[in-house]
Every structure is written in structure tokens, then in C-alpha cells.
Amino acid sequence: MIEFAHPWAFLLLPLPLAVYWLVPPHKEQVSALRFPFFRRLSDAAGRTPQAGAVIFRRTTLQNLAAIAIWALLVSALATPERVGAPIVQEKAARDVMLAIDISGSMDQNDFLSTEGERTQRLEAVKKVVGDFIESRDGDRVALIVFGAKAFVQAPFTEDLASVRALLEQTEVGMAGPHTVLGDAIGLSIKTFQASQIKDRLLILLSDGADTGSRMTPVNAAAIAAREGIEIISIGVGDPDGTGDQRLDERTLTDIADASGGAYYFAGDEAGLAEIYARIDAQKPREVETRSFRPREPLSHFLLVLAALTGVGAVAFLHIRKERRRVA
């Protein structure tokens, strides 16, 4: 499909006619030779001398060549373009941060799998969260793991397969034995600051209580709220446990409330899967769709054709003139 970027240029097509009709012809006086025997020459030629002017007239070929060249130049000025098929690009409209607790308590084998067997907490979490990551096609996803310290395991990316692979590589205790909820939220805030996307979601999963963050989890959640980050907290531990093994549901609830999010508790793998399915339904993936059509300029072809037309016309007239001279 051919389109013109500047179709108004075709208004210039009648310009030569306007010049021809409105502008007076060019006149030029030239010197002449006077022959004392001019009368004899005219009589010998059988012509009657008279006053007048020499008017140079263009041949049909010259007129056609001039019209063609002008039309090609105007068409090139109109910038013809070959327009390709529409290309649709989708860009993530939401950033989703996954913060996963990998402290020592996540090694407990008290989580019921969907098959009814006891399994390690972290293994069940990796299975459910991995499926959740794959379902977020269109979102940018990042992964933070935390224990005694918090680390960015995967920065924001649309390469969900890589995020899931990095999640699968995590092991209990890699970040230390304790749980720093506040530091994990603080690192999430810092990671979100590099993002230009306004819709921000942090899903925080833990099975214990905060044990020494530099900032309290609730204060960190309040700062996250000011940064436009919504926090959904998920508890997977034992609310009746003791010490570091006790799930602090009160803190997780306060974290969610401070940021305008929600708190969920999962006692087994099926319950955890249901929670992530509910989050997926409440926060469906969002994308910004942009469509454009590739354009290839064609003006240079018209300019080359105009030059060839001019050169061809001049060459033809020169050859015809030489033939007449020889004849």
C-alpha cells in the first residue's frame, strides 16, 4: 500500500501553467550583423525581409519531458511511502514484585501437598508461585528472597521463564536463618524506584515473624504506600508456633492494611494455590498496546527517474541534431 506523507505538495502541479500564463515572456536584445548586400541575399533566397523577432519553440519531446520531470519532482516532494501491515506491540502496564521468605523455618515439612502428602514449605511455595509467574504474561515481574538479609534474585523483567528458573534455584537458608520483613519491603521500595510504571504490586510471603529489620515492617509498608505500592501479604507458617517459628499474622495484616492491600493465610498447597488464583483474578495482567505500520520512503526512486528522464531527453535531442547535421 502506497501513501503520501505530504499530499498537499500536489497543489504545486499547475504552477508551471500559472507561470506560463501570468508571467510575461522573457525578451532579450542581441547584436546583429549588417550586410551591405543583404538585399541581394534575400532576393536570391526568394524571401521578403521584414522586422520581427526570433522565437525559440520547444519540440513535443521537450514539452513531454518537462511535464514528466515536474510531475516526478512534485510526487517526490509529496513523499510517497510503502506502508506495511500493522505491527502490534504490547508493553507491561504493571510491575509485580514477589518477595519470598527462605529463612530456616521454611524447611519445615508440614505443608500438605495436593496429593495429601507432607512436603517442605518452600517446595510447595516454589510450585505455586512458579505457576503464578507463568500466568502473568504481559506483566513485568521481579523476585526478592529474604532471610536474615534481603536480596534481589531477579530484577523487573518480562522474561518470566528466567524468573521462574531463578525461583527454582533458591534454597532454604541461602539468605540466612532469620526473617527481616521490614528490610524485604525496603528493598522492594528501592527496586520499584527504578520503574516508570505507576501500577505497582508487592506480594509478600512469609512463615515467621520479623527478627531484626532495620525498619519496622509496618513503617516500611507505610512508605511503600506513599510510593504507590500495594502490598498483599500471605502467611504460610504456624500461627500457634513459638519464637521464630511463630507466624506473626498481626504484623502481616498491619502491613497489608498500611498499604491498602490484603492479607491471606494458607495452611496447605491447595489453599496457597487458591490465594494466588484469587490474586490473579483480582489483579489481572495489564498491558499497553501500541500499534504502528512500518513505512519505507520511495522519494529517491522518483528523483532517479526524473534525472534519467532529463538525461534521456537531452541525449535524444543531441543525437537527432547530429544526424541532421550529417545528413
pLDDT tens over the chain, length 327 residues: 888 888 999 999 999 888 888 888 777 777 766 767 777 777 777 777 666 666 667 788 888 899 999 999 999 999 989 887 777 656 656 788 999 999 888 888 878 887 878 888 899 999 999 999 988 877 789 999 998 899 999 999 888 999 999 999 999 888 888 889 999 999 999 999 888 778 889 999 998 788 878 889 999 999 999 999 999 999 987 777 666 667 888 999 999 999 999 999 988 889 999 998 888 887 766 555 666 678 888 899 999 999 999 999 889 888 888 887 776
Q: At what angle do helices 217-226 and 181-192 cross, to 10 degrees?
A: 20
pLDDT of 90: 60
- Helices and strands, number each (H, E), in the chain: 10, 13
Distance separating alpha carbons of residues 143 and 203, to the nearest angstrom: 10
* 64 residue type, one letter: L
Unique residue bearing C-alpha cell 519531458: 65
- The Cα-based distances of 147 to 161, 209, 265, 285 in angstroms read 24, 11, 20, 29
User: What SS3 state is found at 217?
Assistant: helix
pLDDT of 52: 60
134 phi/psi in degrees, rounded to 5: -65, -30
pLDDT of 70: 92
Asked if 294 and 87 touch (Cβ cutoff 8 Å), the reply is yes
Enter the pTM of the model: 0.63
pLDDT of 105: 83
Q: Checking DSSP bridges between strand 118-119 and strand 111-112, what pairing results, if any?
A: antiparallel
12: cell is 504545486
A 10 A CB-CB count for 164 gives 20
Distance separating alpha carbons of residues 169 and 147, to the nearest angstrom: 15
H or E element that contains 64? helix 60-77
* 46 residue type, one letter: G
- Smallest CA-to-CA distance from 111 within 235, 203, 211, 256 is with 235
Distance separating alpha carbons of residues 159 and 138, to the nearest angstrom: 10
* 107 residue type, one letter: D
H or E element that contains 302? helix 299-326
pLDDT of 91: 61
Distance separating alpha carbons of residues 156 and 298, to the nearest angstrom: 41
Q: At what angle do helices 269-282 and 121-134 cross, to 10 degrees?
A: 30
pLDDT of 3: 87
Distance separating alpha carbons of residues 159 and 301, to the nearest angstrom: 42
- Tell me the domains of the chain and their CATH numbers: 2-85+294-326 (no CATH), 89-289 (3.40.50.410)
Unique residue bearing C-alpha cell 532576393: 43
- Torsion of Cα atoms, 15 then 20 then 23 then 28, to 10°: 130
pLDDT of 78: 92
Distance separating alpha carbons of residues 305 and 298, to the nearest angstrom: 11
User: What SS3 state is found at 210?
Assistant: coil
A 10 A CB-CB count for 70 gives 15
